[in-house]
Structure 1
Amino acid sequence: MKNKLIIEPNETKKVGLLTYHHTTNFGSLLQTFALYKTITEIGYPCEIIDYRNEAVEQREFIKKLYQCRSLREIKHHLQYSKYRRKKAKEFALFLCDKFDVSSKIYYRNNISEANSRYDCFVIGSDLVWDFSINGHDTTYMLDFVESGKGKIAFASSVGEIWHGTEMREVENLLIGFDAIGVREYAIQNKLNELLNRTVDFVCDPTMLIDPAEWEKMASNRIIQEDYVLCYMSNDGLTMYKDAVDYGEKHGLPVYLISYDWVPDNMRAIRPYRIEEFLSLIRYADTVFTASYHGMLFSLYFNKNFYYYNRGWKERMKSISEYLGLSDREHWTPDKGEEIIDYSLINSRMEKFREESKSRLAKYLGKKE
């Protein structure tokens, strides 16, 4: 069964976008922005569904002081929570400025009421199908959507492939989707087999935006000297050591994006605004990242970078295989200083961008 078209372009048709938008994670907010912007540019009025999931909220936002369970936690909270609060405030301002967000806040017990507001529902990118993150909340599989409403998945991800009874549950929920596009080959292959239908491999929503637009959004240069930038880390923190060794070899200071502890041989840098985060990657000499979106924005800005895969490895694995960049995984002192051929990479990204944007338009019902 092939993906079906959903709705004819019509300004009276309204799209509700459901994703992890209420967040303090740069990648989550950037992919929300990119998908929302692309849907509206295709020609559909779109609104972010302000859905709140308790497990996601606890994961994204800082504890209250009274929730600390030890003196160590209290000390940590007093030392670092101010940075996270400032970041959360800036994210909220960005959300208000850049999006149409539903005036109603939805929860599991009232999300069905959203059917009266939208004609088509898009479940967006990020790990929205990772039950370990959202507490097995099948709202993100659009189980609340009434018959006759459009149901689309674009670049949706899962942490670990489902097993046992979960697999049958997922099959029953996703079989009713009108169109499905995912970011990872492993999920594409599994769902093609499970659902006996065409499931597409599409780019992350941030790739739908032309890199020149991301450059315009970035703030002015924050760090005036040349530098190595670190964002997140892998298990064992070996990425930190590699970045410091690389910096020493090339005479470059190493800055770590962190709102927490920072090793003595690294410098803390704390971007609070999306524009600052983009700037730090744009102007870095070299980027070391264990973040999927840290990797993607290094690509968009044509940076020298090394990635460290962690957790759900299929995201980085799939895009590195597609672009032919598997050799950028990890840096070692004896590794050659190969320069990335961005003329080739940019061509591949442009092709992927146009193919994915075309698929999204078809999912929504836009005729070419």
Structure 2
Amino acid sequence: MKKIGILTFHRSINYGAVLQAYALKSVITKLGAHCNIIDYKNQYIDEINRVKLFDFNSSKSFINGILTYAAKKEKYEKFVEFREKYLVDEERDLDISTLNQRQNYYDAYITGSDQVWNYGLSNFDKTYFLDFVSDSKKKYSYAASFGFLEIPKDYINKYRELLGNFNKISVREEQGKKIVNSLLQKKVPVVQDPTLLLNVNEWIEAFRISKNNNPKKYILLYLMIPEPNIVKFTEELAKETGYEIIYITDRIARNIKATFARTVSPVEWLELFLNATYIVTNSFHGVAFSINFNKNFFMGLLPSPANVNSRLENIINIFGLKERQIGIGNKIDIGNVIDYDPINRILSDAREQSMAYLKTIISDTDE
């Protein structure tokens, strides 16, 4: 059995990051390879995700740190538990020197999914470009995302060098395809985020999620960054429907009447999405799971100065769901239920194409 190692942002305290890692590992395993998430420890990412009791950046952040510490610590521990139970099967806390020594340990290395090629998220850690692997035949990407529209001029030559010796490249967004083509004059496939490769029943079975666990209908609000227009939209939706709002956040939020879910685990997060009547989000994976679970959802863009909205716009364009984007002054039409029949057909076709790409990686390792 061939061994495949995945490098991704699995140590992030981010629901989408850990669930896409689980999905990719699960799918590759089902395709007949031995697959493991390489527990590479990027110090920059680990520091960002470290739970701080005292934050001295400002008086506001200092007070906020004290008030939210207990909830954030509990949430952090649930993520660590998920990582150790479902993602990492072998050695833990690896650094780059260890990876250099073990580059022949796997028959193939895959970087992705997630924004592994966004230099700002990892302090431009070249490990996510598999620079430690000397044999280019072993280097692959799956649904790698840049997270931005174009590469800054100062980074172009380095990106070209790093991406130039991959065996196969696939990206998650059309914009990523354009970036790779501009760098390498090479057309690469756009594939689906790993979370979309597992259907709703596979997610339910994987974690024994309870369907309709909450007898009350509710609107689920999940924001990567709070945005006043989205919050207002959610409040108006609650007023129109009479449904309560459940807000997944570990922030101190006093600007909305809601039940706050501050310490949910990745599995509990899935359950909240599965059982929601409506979902309002500005998260890429919030949108991805809403579509995969056939939910009525609304999507808002991330507020300025965020520059990663291309991935949000890309996913709703793929599935013809532009009308679900929240705009200033949007009128809520609660009777406008999404017809998922054509969307599920698009998803099924895209899933097959993405699986076919993964099969080529496994077949390459058999040669």
Query: Pairwise CA RMSD of aligned residues?
Result: 2.0
Residue 309 of structure 2: aligned partner: 313
SS in 2 for 1:230: strand
Contact 2:119–2:125 (CA under 8 A) maintained in structure 1: yes
Cα distance in 2 for partners of 1:279, 1:104 equals 28
Residue 61 of structure 1: aligned partner: 50
SS in 2 for 1:327: helix
Compute the displacement of 1:237 (Å).
2.4
Cα distance in 1 for partners of 2:239, 2:260 equals 17
Residue 21 of structure 1: aligned partner: 10
Where structure 2 has 5 or more consecutive residues not aligned to the other structure, the ranges are none
- Residue identity in the other structure for 2:324: R
SS in 2 for 1:122: strand
Compute the displacement of 1:348 (Å).
0.9
Compute the displacement of 1:75 (Å).
2.6
Contact 1:128–1:140 (CA under 8 A) maintained in structure 2: yes
Compute the displacement of 1:109 (Å).
4.3
Q: Does 1:344 align with 2:342?
A: yes
Cα distance in 2 for partners of 1:35, 1:328 equals 28
Aligned match of 1:290 in 282, 287, 295? 282
Structure 1 range deviating more: 216-225 or 311-320 = 216-225
Note the alpha carbon deviations across 1:184-230, whole angstroms, 9 max, x for none. 10110221232122311000000111221123332455543111110
Cα distance in 1 for partners of 2:60, 2:317 equals 43
SS in 1 for 2:169: strand
Note the alpha carbon deviations across 1:40-71, whole angstroms, 9 max, x for none. 11111112111111221122232243x53555
Note the alpha carbon deviations across 1:146-168, whole angstroms, 9 max, x for none. 12551000011112221213111
Contact 1:286–1:303 (CA under 8 A) maintained in structure 2: yes
SS in 2 for 1:181: coil
- Residue identity in the other structure for 1:321: N
Compute the displacement of 1:233 (Å).
5.3
Compute the displacement of 1:175 (Å).
1.2
Cα distance in 1 for partners of 2:225, 2:92 equals 38
Taking structure 2 as the reference length, the TM-score comes to 0.91
Q: Does 1:248 align with 2:246?
A: no
Matches within 5 A, 1:1-368: 11=1, 13-65=2-54, 67-147=55-135, 149-160=137-148, 161-216=150-205, 217=207, 218-219=209-210, 221=212, 223-232=214-223, 236-262=227-253, 263-310=255-302, 311=306, 312-330=308-326, 332=329, 334-336=331-333, 337-365=335-363
Compute the displacement of 1:271 (Å).
4.6
Cα distance in 2 for partners of 1:173, 1:274 equals 33
* Identity over aligned pairs, percent: 28
Cα gap change, 1:289 to 1:112, in 2 (>3 Å): same
SS in 2 for 1:260: coil
Contact 2:53–2:66 (CA under 8 A) maintained in structure 1: no
- Residue identity in the other structure for 1:165: D
Cα distance in 1 for partners of 2:210, 2:286 equals 17
Taking structure 1 as the reference length, the TM-score comes to 0.90
Compute the displacement of 1:234 (Å).
5.3
SS in 1 for 2:103: helix
Compute the displacement of 1:85 (Å).
1.2
Note the alpha carbon deviations across 1:300-352, whole angstroms, 9 max, x for none. 11111001122311212112111111111016553444221111111111111
Where structure 1 has 5 or more consecutive residues not aligned to the other structure, the ranges are 1-10
Structure 1 range deviating more: 32-41 or 93-102 = 93-102
Cα gap change, 1:219 to 1:95, in 2 (>3 Å): farther
Cα distance in 2 for partners of 1:251, 1:323 equals 29
Note the alpha carbon deviations across 1:69-88, whole angstroms, 9 max, x for none. 55543332221111111111
Cα gap change, 1:222 to 1:69, in 2 (>3 Å): farther
- Residue identity in the other structure for 1:204: D
Residue 3 of structure 1: aligned partner: none
Compute the displacement of 1:108 (Å).
3.6
SS in 1 for 2:179: helix
Cα gap change, 1:148 to 1:76, in 2 (>3 Å): closer
SS in 2 for 1:256: strand
Contact 1:222–1:276 (CA under 8 A) maintained in structure 2: no
Cα gap change, 1:246 to 1:82, in 2 (>3 Å): same
SS in 1 for 2:143: strand
Note the alpha carbon deviations across 1:222-271, whole angstroms, 9 max, x for none. 54311111001556421111100111011111121011112242221235
Structure 1 range deviating more: 310-319 or 172-181 = 310-319
